[in-house]
Amino acid sequence: MKKSSIDECGDFCGIIPGSSLNSNSCTLTFDSHGKTIGDIYGIALIIEDFLNSSITSPLSSIPLQFLIEITNISNCLLKPQIYSNMNRSTTILVGQQFDFNLTITQGCSNRTIIDLMTVSPLNMIQTNLTYLNTENVWKVTQTWIPSQIQLGAHVYCVVATDK
């Protein structure tokens, strides 16, 4: 990555103490030791690709912005488990509503599912997370009505965030 002469990072310019960026491997390392719980750090990167090392103008530039929040170390080593009533290969008809449920369980009683992030087809919507009042189980329903231009295979990925 080469540094641009344009200030594309706004108020987030500069290096955060405890971080380093390896531009050869495109790896950002952040060391949270000595940081205060609750602190939030804004990260703004520009990902650029170049035809070769002698060219100074990028072929493309993509901004990437995210936050790092310093939190307590969890005493729960169990990650949320997600179950679906949908088969791995399901045929869905164009123009017809398709619903499926996700059940999320967390094996530690002191943890709560706070968010569900998905990579899903365009216009798929989900209900709010609902706690089922049984041993750390949450439920959400996904709904999709595919259009004609959405014919074909689609990938659906989901990750639950707990706290």
Q: Is residue 160 within 8 Å of residue 80, measured between CB atoms?
A: yes
Q: Is 76 left (phi over 0), alpha (psi -120 to 50) or beta?
A: beta
How far is C-alpha 32 from the geometric centre of its chain's CA atoms? Answer: 20
pLDDT at 126: 92
How does pLDDT run across 81-91, given as a tens digit for each residue? 999 988 877 88
CA-only gyration radius of the chain, Å: 21
The amino acid occupying position 134 is T
- Domain map (residue ranges) of the chain: 10-69, 81-162
User: CATH for 81-162?
Assistant: 2.60.40
How does pLDDT run across 18-50, given as a tens digit for each residue? 888 887 787 889 888 888 888 888 888 888 888
